[in-house]
Structure 1
Amino acid sequence: MNEFCLKSSDLEQLRKIRRRSPHEDTESFTVYLRSDVEAKWSCVHRSLEVWGSPEALAREKKLRKEAEIEYRERLFRNQKVLREYREFLGNTKPRSRTTSVFFKGPGKVVMVAICINGLNCFFKFLAWIYTGSASMFSEAIHSLSDTCNQALLALGISKSVQTPDPTHPYGFSNMRYIASLISGVGIFMMGAGLSWYHGVMGLLNPQPIESLLWAYCILAGSLVSEGATLLVAVNELRRSARAKGMSLYKYVMESRDPSTNVILLEDTAAVLGVTIAATCMGLTSVTGNPLYDSLGSLGVGTLLGVVSAFLIYTNTEALLGRSIQPEQVQRLTELLENDPSVRAIHDVKATDLGLGKVRFKAEVDFDGRVVTRSYLEKQDFDQMLQEIQEVKTPEELETFMLKHGENIIDTLGAEVDRLEKELKKRNPEVRHVDLEIL
């Protein structure tokens, strides 16, 4: 129709053949066989009937060719402008998203934790200055460490939602794991280290402690506020674990949501730390022996060390490239194996990129007969047989093979595209699919 400037309405009297598209998301289309057209009339004769004269036909062809050239040039210019716009303004897009990410999910939990721990840190330092208690100093350092680490988590969250760029084609989702890992190291160095140091110094040089009334009041307020933050973190983790179909324990152990996990562990440690500090300060107040208070500082430091070790381990495992659940891998594998065009698959890898994003890779052995048959379903066998009969020289054979070989390769590429779309459609968490043809 393009060759002779005809429309579908000009061919209404001919036989219509429905052919399926190689793409799963594209409807089948109608084709007309050239042999049917030539059997009824000459294409040139029919085009002259439509356009009236050879001059009019030539003029129409020229106009269509000019329109196609203009369209391609305009498309090229628009793509170039769009590419330059993305390169120039691409870095501003993530900023618009970071403003909303802190009002829901892990971002909301982190912001609540920063506010509460910041206030707790301030009042605990006042209580330490007033009482000189080693346990209170450890708790103040604990809250300061939590506040700094949660600010780092907020930075990691804002960075993780940025859109991919040419330098980072798979995005920045691992920034949450990096921020959580640095947070774990910070807890160990600043929180546990200073608490142990102050506890040891208290054991070596015990000092009398002033009235602990205000310290108890501040610890009570801290217990309530830390408990509220812990409750927010637990609710968020339960919601996320339920969405993934996992238990809360398994979700936390696999560090599926690193930012919320850090808040959960830090607040759990905070609640336990307040309990340890209050108990040891109470023993010191009852017995008058300051050594109990120093032991409380060592206990808080040990607790922070355990939390730090867990965070370092889980986030390191995530950054090393952790596989997704075996059940998920099995579902993806079965989808490919059950496809009629696939003979076998090998070397399947499904990696968690963080934030619910999965990269799937597999080597696919396609059934050449099925792919070729899919191509042949769209061909006119009579015309193809005529082309074969006209082959007399090696050059004509090469031309024939190149033509149909290229079309078969295009059909194979369409099969790969179809499978990739099917994998993403049935498994929304799969964002990147790499299928290697064997």
Structure 2
Amino acid sequence: MSENRQEEQDSQGSESLLTVVIAAAVNLVIAVAKVAAGLLSGSAAMLSEAAHSFADTATELLLVLAVRRGARPADDSHPFGHGKSAFFWALMAAGATLVVGAGFSITHGVQTILYGEELADLTVSYVVLAVAVVLETVSFLRALRQIRGEARRWRVSPRDYVAITSDTAVKAVLFEDAAALAGIVIAAGGLFGYQLTGSPLWDGAASVLIGLLLLGIALYLIRANASLLIGQAAPPMLRDAIRAELDSRPEVVETVELLTMMLGPSDILVAAKVDFGHEYTGDRLEEAADRVERAITGRWPEVSHVFLDPTPGRAARRRAAEADGGAP
């Protein structure tokens, strides 16, 4: 592992960890306040929002574990490092959101619609929601700032970066904070609807909507992490750039096959079958392969392992067939 790559991984890991810790602290404070407001008012939407915040807190604690476990160095038992453990714990975090947040909110909302009761004074609930908006915005902007910085480095839009990034911790914080802000708006709408009509239907419906919002976020994150865990390739734009780099090298005649895999956040494996020029044999072939490898890792520090397999390309196979007197 190069020194530059190690420094970059440490820097990104530290920034991601700070983003997750800030989000966890914010959600814990908000969760306690929402529980108090929900119990005082009897609002299902407020209690669902409390479950939402507690689920986010549990999720972010698991994401802290994901960042720390994923950053452990390679060893004899795990020669490619522990990066995939970050995907595993991020998958568990998404599962916590699904079970704790979505499950409770939908169930409690349905019960409120069927057996709803009158609510008490909602002043405290509105105050708590207002404070929650401020705190959740702070956490959301922190995650958004990190994503914008990484997007500039990759020369893509923040939206495209979120779609392709393997930094599941930051992606989860961004989506969960966005869902939290949306949930606050929904909860406030449910309370206001109850005040206007006196019907608990509004409060229960808001709780169900919050649950469905969490369900969608959880399923998206589960799918993304599962794909990374079972060996997702690097983003198409990166694969195309690596292939272009290989084909541009003077040592290379043709890139016969290129395979990539995400080993962890900011940790990529590259394996390629490469047709080197016919003049590269023996020691010269080893030196050429080493130059190509250094060119790739120098341009993309995220690439931790490069395996090059000298393989005849179409032109080489055609020459060999012609030399044997066979059809090309």
User: Given the two structures, how large is their TM-score scaled by the length of structure 2?
Assistant: 0.86
Tell me which stretches of 4 or more aligned residues in structure 1 moved more than 6 Å.
none
1:424 corresponds in structure 2 to 297
Query: Is residue 205 from structure 1 mapped to residue 135 from structure 2 by the alignment?
Result: no
Q: CA deviation at 1:101?
A: 7.7
CA distance in structure 2 between the aligned counterparts of 1:204 and 1:169, rounded to whole angstroms: 56
Aligned counterpart, 1:433? 306
Q: How does 1:104-115 map to 2 (within 5 A)?
A: 104-115=14-25
Look up the match of 2:35: 125
Displacement, 1:187?
Answer: 0.9
Measure the CA separation in 1 of the matches of 2:149 and 2:294. Answer: 29
Higher radius of gyration, 1 or 2: 1
The aligned runs of 1:349-428 (5 Å cut-off) are 349-368=259-278, 370-372=279-281, 409-428=282-301
**What SS does the aligned partner of 2:74 have?**
coil
Out of 262, 279, 298, the position equivalent to 2:208 is 298
1:247, distance to aligned residue in structure 2 (A): 0.8
CA distance in 2 between partners of 1:327 and 1:268 (Å)? 27
8 Å contact from structure 1 (residues 255, 318) kept in 2: no
Counterpart residue number, 1:153: 63
Question: Does the aligned pair in 1 maintain the 2:83–2:264 contact within 8 Å?
Answer: yes
The alignment status of 1:191 with 2:84, answered yes or no, reads no
* Structure 1 contact 416–435 (Cα < 8 Å) conserved: yes
Specify the alignment match of 1:136 in structure 2: 46
Which of 88, 91, 95 is matched with 1:181 structurally? 91
SS of structure 2 residue aligned to 1:360: strand
String of CA shifts for 1:17-74, please: whole Å, max 9, x gaps.
xxxxxxxxxxxxxxxxxxxxxxxxxxxxxxxxxxxxxxxxxxxxxxxxxxxxxxxxxx
What does the per-residue CA deviation read over 1:78-119, in whole Å, with 9 as the maximum and x for residues that have no partner?
Answer: xxxxxxxxxxxxxxxxxxx99x988x4211111111111101
SS at match of 2:268: strand
Question: Partner of 2:326 in structure 1?
Answer: none
Question: CA separation in 2, counterparts of 1:334 and 1:426?
Answer: 12
Which amino acid is the alignment partner of residue 312 of structure 1? I
Q: 1:123 to 1:420 in 2, by over 3 A?
A: same
The amino acid that maps onto 1:292 is W
More displaced stretch, 137-146 vs 335-344: 335-344
Structure 2 distance, partners of 1:262, 1:203, is 31
Deviation at 1:339, TM superposition (A): 4.1
Report Cα offsets for 1:322-378 as digits up to 9, x if no partner: 33344433443344334454443322112233322221111123344x135xxxxxx
Aligned equivalents of 2:113, 2:237: Cα separation in 1: 53
Alignment gaps of 5+ in structure 1: 1-96, 373-408
Judging changes above 3 Å, is the alpha-carbon distance between structure 1 residues 176 and 138 closer, same or farther for their aligned structure 2 residues? same
DSSP 3-state at the match of 1:432: strand
Q: Which runs of 5+ in 2 are unaligned?
A: 1-8, 312-328
- Aligned position for 1:235: 145
For the residue of structure 2 that corresponds to 1:142, the secondary structure is helix
The separation in 2 between residues aligned to 1:158 and 1:283, in whole angstroms, is 44
Q: What's the offset of the Cα at 1:144?
A: 0.5
- The letter of the residue matching 2:53 is S
- Cα deviation, 1:363-410, whole Å, max 9, x if unaligned, reads 123344x135xxxxxxxxxxxxxxxxxxxxxxxxxxxxxxxxxxxx34
TM-fit CA distance, 1:412: 3.1
Q: Which amino acid aligns with 1:431?
A: S
For residues 36 and 159 of structure 2, the distance between their equivalents in structure 1, rounded to whole angstroms, comes to: 37
1 or 2 for the larger relative contact order (CA 8 Å, sep ≥6)? 2
Q: Which amino acid aligns with 1:232?
A: R
Residue 395 of structure 1 aligns with which residue? Answer: none
Q: Which amino acid aligns with 1:430?
A: V
Q: Percent identity over the alignment?
A: 31
In structure 2, C-alpha distance between the alignment counterparts of 1:286 and 1:331, rounded to whole Å: 58
Choose from 225, 248, 254 the match for 1:315: 225
Counterpart contact for 1:173–1:353, Cα < 8 Å: yes
8 Å CA contact 1:256–1:355 kept in 2: the answer is yes
- Matches of 2:241 and 2:39 in 1, distance apart? 60
**Secondary structure at 1:171 match in 2:** coil
Write the deviation string for residues 168-188 of structure 1: whole angstroms up to 9, x where unpaired: 111122233222221211111
Which letter maps to 1:371? Y
Describe the shift of the 1:204–1:414 C-alpha distance in structure 2 as closer, same or farther (beyond 3 A).
same
SS state of the match for residue 258, structure 2? strand
Partner of 2:186: 276
SS in 1 for 2:280: helix
The total of aligned residue pairs comes to 304
- The answer to whether the 8 Å contact 1:117/1:143 transfers is yes
* CA distance in 1: counterparts of 2:165 and 2:297, whole angstroms: 24
Q: SS at the partner of 1:371?
A: coil
With over 3 angstroms needed to count, the CA separation of the structure-2 counterparts of 1:308 and 1:159, relative to structure 1, is same
